[in-house]
């Protein structure tokens, strides 16, 4: 956890060392320029200090060469830093496809973590070392922010939409989790732990404790309880589109545009169905706004994701089938 | 106002010339520039609302189209004609001031104010109508079809803030016109000192222009789209 | 320059009428500047008191001084007071109001009554905000993010929102006044490129005030409407977008930081020129840099929102422009440094503050590059790194420039000189206290200590204790001038019209100046900062 160094945080993710490298470079750059400027100022201040009360300075207007130099050189340096940081940002913003997905719901003032296979955690996140992990997050109330300093990642957690971050932990251990967007009274109490385990220990943890059934299984139950299956039948006779294989596909809408059926699309279709009506269907689906919680939405989404047409591969799961990320990240 | 002229002899320069200006012309130019700068700030002020409106119209075109249909286009068009007419009378008032024709100036100012009041009256009727139809967000808002109600609430929120802010500007405009009317009637406005009328005219035209944008955005856009049925 | 037989002028703006009415109904820009001075100082002390409470609480990791609700109100009100009621008006409404007309040879601003109205509007806005503070307080952060501010907060959001809204108009009208004044009221011969850089800086600032402030005004209108009438514009439950608030808010609030720094940079140009008795190196580059900062500053607001879920491509654009906006500031720093080369450099109080500014603003500005770097900003945003960055530019920058300016123009405004020993002592205390307070916060930020935290992990205490210790020293440095300047106003030695031997129209008139600024309108035939003083005989 605490690296023992009171002045610098541990680097515990694959991206952390890249962030640190950029940081150290900028620190060095800052020290250089501050030393240069401060040095010149002090030097000139002493060398040219006023010796007589009515002494004046030399008549110097300016110098074009200098102006160009000290505009262009900082510009070039800035562009270099920009390119470096943009490259890093691209890598940090795009969760790899093979990342395992974990859901997070933030609310005042706690983190609710939902693993796909059903494990639930409050203010804790267990993950295996060396695996790419993606968090899909939303808030039940105000804006929060999921921040793991030792991984160098954070993202706002916003009501009404999903945001994501991804990371790959490099060292087993327990790391700090903070809420980093002010959210009211117990904002500084909305903290927790990220527990990174060796794969075996992680499997053991996954199988231990009360399993509540996978999210998809809970979603299937809900799908039936809320009577979704009366319109969304698996044949073509339903008043609503069949959902087999819909996740990840491109859907043609009545308005003429296409939409990608990702988590946000499914969530929107449940809460405001009139927003995107599939081509060839009537806009008769009722809204479930206020009838389902954020967690139930996640269950329904996982259920829909699990509906594969025959021949499609199963979605990536926790169960050790995919090799722990041994290859160096290409990003 | 006039008391300054009465209080001391200005030694030959215009009684309305402020002492930090060298000439009435300098003062007029400065005042006019000041009003233009102020109008720029007003553009930015309304701009935030237009930005929000644009965003939500893009996101929820159907709900917005249905909501637009609920606004009475006849009253909207009538009000548009009323305001354009009031800008005409205002321009005529400015011209009358510049040519020193006091009675015409007074007449046109009064006409402008009458038309402005008519506009506000119509807005009052429209607001009352919204109230009856439960289209006022925050006051048991209800909208059919219910599937669009949430997004329609956003439309009507923006409708009230935008037209309400505009109406407040109209009321302020009427206040300014009242002040100009008094000055016109008591002789402060002359051919040499017509700039207060010009500057008030700038403000009035601006408020008119805001409405010219509001009317199509709120009343017209999407009105011709068919309702969402097949 | 000043001899022992210097006397105060007989009639000047301070003794031109002694009644309360002559002050509260004044149209004199100099008196209005003093009205602002007293009001702004008062609000600075309130904001400072909250800061003291914050640092006191943070000296220990546990929340043992005040409850979390109270703490949240304290940091919010510290921010609201300091940003809206201190930093935005401090240089333009005090030094700008006092000096701008004099520096261009005018008798007053273009619209003196509007100037007085601006002060009353400022006071009205502050009363609403103080009302909010003393009733249920405000706990949304000075950034008022929705949906917390529109739905969840139980504090006086509406009165505070109204207060800040009203206060915005003070800023808008001041900016309007400055723009028209610079365009239309320059004395004969005072061309644009003969104007002091202080005037250029205030002109650029005025553009930002006029274009930016209306946007936060309308944003606050929407917020108040949302909260009072449950409109739904920012409410996700009805399809509203809470992030829209952030875009609208930062569209003003980023340019706002240039409202805070540009006038300060204008002060620094004057202090360096006078402190070196030399023209500012690269005058037109510095002038155009002010304009460039004002314009580009409107295009970078998204860098406050890199982790709020914006598209990667939008983030790229905002990051790129954020790097670009740093360049003109760097150009200015280099030009000021070059001005010192072969100057006649004084080490008196205004120059000490100016040199301090150059160092601290450089650190603050360079740490801005850390934050413009998107990949790094993800880690640093919403941590104490941000807090350190903006205090370096706002306090190490704006406040140091303001203090330097107050000392520099103190003899002009009051006719008397302050104690140079106490001035230098305070400058040193401020410098040391400031760095001790805020440098540890860079480290805390990288460690991951989030902002607006009432409690924190125990291993972060050492750095927090250093910061709190520094704060107590800084408080002393800020408080001392209140006393010795007040004393000097009454009992200081008479200064004469040009105690610094500086060049500028303000030094060609008496200290204090007459109500109409000049006995006769000057006719200008020389460039800014042309040493030796070209107007022989006008120097006392």
DSSP code for C87: I
Rounded to 5 degrees, what angle do the CA atoms B10, B13, B16 make? 80
Query: What percentage of chain C has pLDDT greater than the value 70?
Result: 98
- Contacts B50 to C, Cβ<8 Å: none
Q: Is the pLDDT of residue A74 over 70?
A: yes
Task: Give residue-wise pLDDT tens across range C514-523.
Answer: 999 998 889 9
Please state whether beta strands A132-139 and A100-107 pair in parallel, antiparallel, or not at all (unpaired): parallel
Asked if residue B194 lies in contact with residue B180, where contact means CB atoms within 8 angstroms, the answer is no
Task: Give residue-wise pLDDT tens across range A279-310.
Answer: 888 888 888 888 898 889 999 999 999 888 76
Mean pLDDT for the stretch of residues C195-221 = 97
CA of B133 to nearest chain A CA: how many angstroms apart? 23
CA of A324 to nearest chain B CA: how many angstroms apart? 41
Contact B146 A287 (CB under 8 A): yes
For residue A308, the model assigns a pLDDT of 80
Lowest average pLDDT, out of A42-46, C149-153, C331-335, goes to: C149-153
Task: Give residue-wise pLDDT tens across range C437-475.
Answer: 999 999 999 999 999 999 999 999 999 999 999 999 999
For residue A242, the model assigns a pLDDT of 87
Beta strands in C58-192 (DSSP E): none
CA of B163 to nearest chain A CA: how many angstroms apart? 27
Asked if residue C161 lies in contact with residue C220, where contact means CB atoms within 8 angstroms, the answer is yes
Task: Give residue-wise pLDDT tens across range B18-56.
Answer: 888 988 999 999 999 999 999 999 999 999 999 999 999
Q: Which helix (H) or strand (E) holds B130?
A: helix B102-132
Question: Position of tokens 């405001």?
Answer: A272
Contact C211 B137 (CB under 8 A): no
Q: Which of A272, A283, A286 sits opposite B228 (nearest CB)?
A: A283
For residue A327, the model assigns a pLDDT of 35
For residue A210, the model assigns a pLDDT of 60
What is the C-alpha to C-alpha distance for residues C353 and C342, in angstroms, rounded to an integer?
A: 20
Contact B151 C229 (CB under 8 A): no
Asked if residue A120 lies in contact with residue A212, where contact means CB atoms within 8 angstroms, the answer is yes
Contact A283 B151 (CB under 8 A): no
Of the pLDDT bands very low, low, confident and very high (cuts 50, 70, 90), residue A121 is: very high
Task: Give residue-wise pLDDT tens across range C222-238.
Answer: 999 999 988 889 998 88
CA of B72 to nearest chain C CA: how many angstroms apart? 22
B contact chains, 3+ CB pairs < 8 A? A, C
What is the C-alpha to C-alpha distance for residues C314 and C337, in angstroms, rounded to an integer?
A: 36
* Mutation target among B48, B137, B139, B151 for the C interface, most CBs of C within 10 A: B48
For residue A213, the model assigns a pLDDT of 78
Question: Position of tokens 């109508």?
Answer: B129
CA of C231 to nearest chain B CA: how many angstroms apart? 5
Mean pLDDT for the stretch of residues C154-163 = 96
Q: Is residue A289 within 8 angstroms of chain B, CB to CB?
A: yes
Please provide the average confidence, as pLDDT, over all residues in chain A: 88
Q: Three-class SS of residue C311? A: coil
For residue A291, the model assigns a pLDDT of 87
Residue B20's closest chain C neighbor by CA? Answer: C107
Q: Is the pLDDT of residue A17 over 50?
A: yes
Alpha helices in chain A (DSSP H): 16-47, 64-93, 199-207, 215-225, 263-271, 294-306
Q: Is residue C210 within 8 angstroms of chain B, CB to CB?
A: yes
Q: Is the pLDDT of residue C498 over 90?
A: yes
- Contacts C316 to A, Cβ<8 Å: 86, 89
- Contacts A268 to C, Cβ<8 Å: none
The whole-model pTM stands at 0.92
For residue B12, the model assigns a pLDDT of 66
Q: Three-class SS of residue A109? A: coil
The per-type count for chain C, helices as H runs and strands as E runs, is 17, 0
C521's tokens:
């309108």
Asked if residue A317 lies in contact with residue A124, where contact means CB atoms within 8 angstroms, the answer is no
CA of B186 to nearest chain C CA: how many angstroms apart? 23
Q: Is residue C246 within 8 angstroms of chain B, CB to CB?
A: no
Task: Give residue-wise pLDDT tens across range B179-222.
Answer: 999 999 999 999 999 999 999 999 999 999 999 999 999 999 87
Q: Is residue B230 within 8 angstroms of chain A, CB to CB?
A: yes
What is the C-alpha to C-alpha distance for residues C511 and C102, in angstroms, rounded to an integer?
A: 12
Q: Is the pLDDT of residue C536 over 60?
A: no
Task: Give residue-wise pLDDT tens across range B134-165.
Answer: 899 888 888 888 888 889 999 999 999 999 99
Task: Give residue-wise pLDDT tens across range C31-66.
Answer: 999 999 999 999 999 999 999 999 999 999 998 899
Task: Count residue pairs from B and C with Cβ separation < 8 A.
Answer: 113
Q: Is residue A275 within 8 angstroms of chain B, CB to CB?
A: yes
Task: Give residue-wise pLDDT tens across range B91-124.
Answer: 999 999 999 999 999 999 999 999 999 999 999 9
- Contacts C358 to A, Cβ<8 Å: 37-38, 41
Of the pLDDT bands very low, low, confident and very high (cuts 50, 70, 90), residue A1 is: very low
B62's tokens:
């159907």
Beta-bridged to residue A252, according to DSSP, are A258
What is the C-alpha to C-alpha distance for residues C396 and C59, in angstroms, rounded to an integer?
A: 22
What interface predicted TM-score (ipTM) does this complex get? 0.94
Q: Closest Cα to residue B63, out of B215, B214, B225?
A: B225
Q: Closest Cα to residue B33, out of C111, C395, C227?
A: C111
Sign of the four-CA dihedral A318, A321, A323, A329: negative
Contact B44 C222 (CB under 8 A): no
Contact A182 C148 (CB under 8 A): yes
Query: What percentage of chain C has pLDDT greater than the value 90?
Result: 92
For residue A323, the model assigns a pLDDT of 39
Please provide the average confidence, as pLDDT, over all residues in chain B: 90
Q: How many CB atoms lie within 10 A of CB A301?
A: 24
Mean pLDDT for the stretch of residues A213-221 = 88
Task: Give residue-wise pLDDT tens across range C79-133.
Answer: 999 999 999 999 999 999 999 999 999 999 999 999 999 999 999 999 999 999 9
The per-type count for chain B, helices as H runs and strands as E runs, is 7, 0
Provide the CA C357 distance to its chain's centre, in angstroms: 13
Residue C532's closest chain A neighbor by CA? Answer: A56
- Contacts C237 to B, Cβ<8 Å: 150
A contact chains, 3+ CB pairs < 8 A? B, C
Query: What percentage of chain A has pLDDT greater than the value 90?
Result: 63
What is the C-alpha to C-alpha distance for residues C16 and C28, in angstroms, rounded to an integer?
A: 10
Mean pLDDT for the stretch of residues B57-74 = 91
């Amino acid at each position: 956890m605490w690296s023992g160094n009171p002045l610098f945080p541990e680097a515990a993710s694959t991206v952390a060392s890249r962030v640190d490298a950029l940081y150290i470079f900028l620190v060095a750059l800052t020290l250089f320029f501050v030393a240069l400027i401060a040095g010149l100022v002090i030097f000139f201040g002493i060398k040219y200090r006023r010796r007589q009360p009515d002494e004046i300075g030399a008549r110097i207007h300016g110098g074009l060469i200098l102006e160009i130099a000290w505009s262009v050189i900082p510009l070039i340096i800035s562009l270099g830093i920009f390119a470096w940081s943009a490259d890093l940002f691209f890598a940090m913003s795009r969760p790899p496809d093979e990342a395992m997905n974990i859901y997070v719901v933030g609310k005042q003032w706690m983190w609710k973590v939902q693993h796909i296979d059903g494990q639930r955690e409050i203010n804790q996140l267990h993950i295996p070392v060396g695996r790419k992990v993606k968090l899909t997050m939303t808030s039940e109330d105000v804006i929060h922010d999921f921040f793991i300093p030792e991984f160098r990642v954070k993202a706002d957690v916003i009501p009404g939409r999903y945001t994501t971050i991804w990371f790959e932990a490099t060292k087993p251990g327990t790391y700090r989790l903070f809420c980093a967007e002010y959210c009211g009274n117990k904002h500084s109490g909305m903290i927790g732990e990220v527990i990174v385990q060796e794969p075996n220990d992680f499997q053991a943890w996954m199988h231990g404790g009360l399993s509540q059934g996978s999210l998809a299984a809970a979603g299937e139950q809900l799908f039936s309880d809320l009577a979704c299956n009366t319109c969304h039948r698996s044949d073509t006779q339903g008043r609503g589109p069949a959902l087999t294989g819909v996740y990840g596909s491109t859907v043609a809408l009545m308005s003429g545009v296409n939409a990608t059926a990702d988590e946000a699309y499914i969530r929107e279709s449940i809460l405001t169905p009139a927003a995107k009506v599939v081509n060839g269907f009537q806009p008769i689906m009722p809204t479930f706004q206020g009838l389902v919680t954020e967690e139930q939405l996640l269950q329904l989404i996982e259920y829909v994701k699990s509906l594969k047409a025959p021949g499609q591969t199963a979605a990536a799961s926790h169960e050790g089938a995919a090799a722990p990320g041994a290859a160096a990240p290409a990003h | 106002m006039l008391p300054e002229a009465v209080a001391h002899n200005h030694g030959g320069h215009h009684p309305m010339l402020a002492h930090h200006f060298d000439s009435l012309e300098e003062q007029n130019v400065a005042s006019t520039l000041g009003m233009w700068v102020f109008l720029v700030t007003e553009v930015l002020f309304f701009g935030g609302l237009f930005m929000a409106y644009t965003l939500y119209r893009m996101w929820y075109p159907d709900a917005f189209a249905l909501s637009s249909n609920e606004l009475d286009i006849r009253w909207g068009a009538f009000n548009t004609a009323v305001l354009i007419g009031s800008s005409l009378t205002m321009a005529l008032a400015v011209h009358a001031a510049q040519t020193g024709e006091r009675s015409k100036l007074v007449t046109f100012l009064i006409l402008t104010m009458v038309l402005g009041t008519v506009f506000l009256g119509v807005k009052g009727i429209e607001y009352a109508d919204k109230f009856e139809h439960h289209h006022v967000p925050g006051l048991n808002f209800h909208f059919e079809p219910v599937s669009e109600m949430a997004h329609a609430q956003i439309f009507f929120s923006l409708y009230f803030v935008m037209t309400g802010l505009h109406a407040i500007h109209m009321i302020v405009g009427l206040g300014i016109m009242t002040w100009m009317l008094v000055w016109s009637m008591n002789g402060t406005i002359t051919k040499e000192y017509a700039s207060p009328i010009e500057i008030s005219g700038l403000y009035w035209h601006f408020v008119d222009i805001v409405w010219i944008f509001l009317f199509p955005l709120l009343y017209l856009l999407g009105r011709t789209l068919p309702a969402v049925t097949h | 320059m000043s001899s022992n037989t210097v006397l105060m002028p007989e009639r000047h703006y301070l003794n031109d009428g002694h009644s309360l009415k002559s002050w509260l109904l004044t149209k004199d820009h100099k008196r209005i500047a003093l009205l602002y001075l007293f009001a702004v100082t008062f609000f600075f002390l309130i904001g400072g008191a909250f800061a003291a409470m914050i640092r006191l609480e943070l000296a220990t990791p546990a929340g043992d001084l005040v409850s979390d609700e109270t703490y949240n109100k304290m940091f919010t009100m510290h921010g609201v007071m300091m940003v809206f009621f201190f930093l935005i008006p401090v240089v333009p409404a005090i030094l700008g109001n006092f000096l701008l007309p004099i520096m261009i040879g005018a008798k007053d601003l273009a619209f003196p009554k509007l100037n007085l109205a601006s002060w009353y509007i400022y006071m009205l806005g502050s009363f609403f905000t103080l009302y909010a503070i003393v009733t249920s307080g405000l706990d949304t952060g000075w950034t008022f993010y929705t949906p917390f501010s529109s739905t969840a907060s139980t504090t006086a959001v509406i009165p505070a929102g109204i207060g800040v809204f009203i206060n915005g108009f003070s800023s808008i009208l001041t900016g309007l006044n400055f723009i028209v004044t610079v365009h239309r009221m320059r004395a004969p011969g005072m061309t644009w490129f003969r104007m002091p850089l202080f005037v250029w800086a205030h002109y650029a600032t005025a553009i930002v005030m006029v274009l930016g402030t209306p946007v936060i005004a309308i944003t606050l209108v929407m917020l108040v409407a949302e909260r009072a009438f449950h409109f739904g514009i920012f409410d996700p439950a009805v399809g509203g977008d809470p992030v829209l608030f952030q875009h609208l808010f930062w569209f003003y609030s980023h340019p706002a930081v240039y409202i805070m720094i540009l006038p300060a940079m204008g002060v620094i140009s004057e202090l360096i020129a006078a402190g070196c008795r030399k023209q500012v190196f690269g005058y037109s580059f510095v002038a155009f840099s002010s304009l460039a900062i004002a314009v580009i500053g409107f295009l970078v607001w998204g860098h406050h929102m890199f982790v709020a879920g914006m598209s990667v491509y939008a983030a790229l654009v905002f990051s790129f422009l954020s790097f670009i906006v740093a360049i003109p500031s760097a150009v200015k720093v280099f030009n000021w440094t070059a001005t010192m080369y072969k100057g006649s450099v004084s080490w008196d109080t205004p120059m000490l503050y100016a040199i301090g500014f150059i160092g601290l603003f450089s650190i603050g500005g360079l740490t801005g590059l850390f934050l413009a770097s998107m990949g790094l900003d993800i880690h640093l945003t919403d941590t104490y790194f941000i807090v350190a960055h903006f205090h370096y530019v706002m306090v190490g920058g704006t406040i140091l420039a303001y203090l330097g300016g107050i000392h520099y123009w103190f003899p002009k405004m009051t006719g008397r000189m302050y104690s140079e020993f106490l001035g230098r002592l305070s400058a040193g205390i401020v410098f040391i206290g400031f760095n001790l307070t805020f440098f540890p916060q860079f480290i805390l930020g990288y460690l991951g200590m989030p902002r607006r935290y009432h409690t924190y992990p125990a291993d972060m205490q050492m750095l927090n204790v250093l910061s709190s210790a520094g704060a107590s020293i800084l408080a002393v440095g800020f408080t001392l001038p209140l006393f010795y300047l007040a004393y000097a106003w009454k009992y200081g030695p008479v200064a004469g019209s040009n105690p610094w031997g500086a060049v500028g129209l303000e030094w060609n008139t008496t200290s204090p100046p007459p109500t109409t600024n000049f006995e006769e309108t000057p006719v200008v035939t020389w460039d800014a900062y042309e040493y030796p003083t070209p107007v022989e005989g006008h120097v006392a």
